[in-house]
Amino acid sequence: MDNIFVKDGFWLTVEHAASSYGVPVLARNGAVYGPGDVLPSGEGASAFVEAWAKREVRSPGERAAARRFLGLPPGALGSEEWECDTLRALILEAAEALDPSHQGVQWPDPIEWDGRPLRDQARDLYTLVDVAAADYGGAKAARLRALAHRLWQAATEVE
């Protein structure tokens, strides 16, 4: 695991003597904190790391480090969807969200029908799904926006 910058000068790291068995510690300016410690700000280290991990979409490595620090099982922190997503699965999910009754010419295989690299398909679908979210309100809009964000994250991380 690489050192992972959290925020406000804090890092999750396994490169400190206080870290053991691959469980990172939270470090800043030579001071280290475990999940049960209180930071100089008065906030608990666990709450600090958990809030950081949940605030934005994090990479699988960042979420895994936060889970190890917090002692949480795989799938915690809302990451199970993110970590098991592949571009192919996301593209199929987006195609289903945009055309649930399969009326478009791309069915039964939207990926093969398009024929472009998966990353290009995902980037274009990101825009379509994001625009579609604006047509809805409530839970459906939130679900579409989350899907659009996952598409973008996956498309830009695959190189």
What gap in Å lies between CA 97 and CA 150, rounded to an integer? Answer: 14
On whether both 76 and 91 belong to a single domain, the answer is no
Last residue in a domain, options 53, 81, 109:
81
Owning domain of residue 115: 85-157
On whether both 108 and 41 belong to a single domain, the answer is no
What gap in Å lies between CA 35 and CA 6, rounded to an integer? Answer: 14
The pLDDT of residue 144 is above 50: yes
Q: What is the pLDDT of residue 92?
A: 81
Q: Is the pTM of this model over 0.85?
A: no
Q: What is the pLDDT of residue 14?
A: 92
Residues in contact with 140: Cβ distance below 8 Å, sequence separation at least 6, in sequence order: 133
Residues in contact with 153: Cβ distance below 8 Å, sequence separation at least 6, in sequence order: 57, 82
Identify which of 54, 55, 65 has the alpha carbon closest to the alpha carbon of residue 5: 65
On whether both 92 and 125 belong to a single domain, the answer is yes
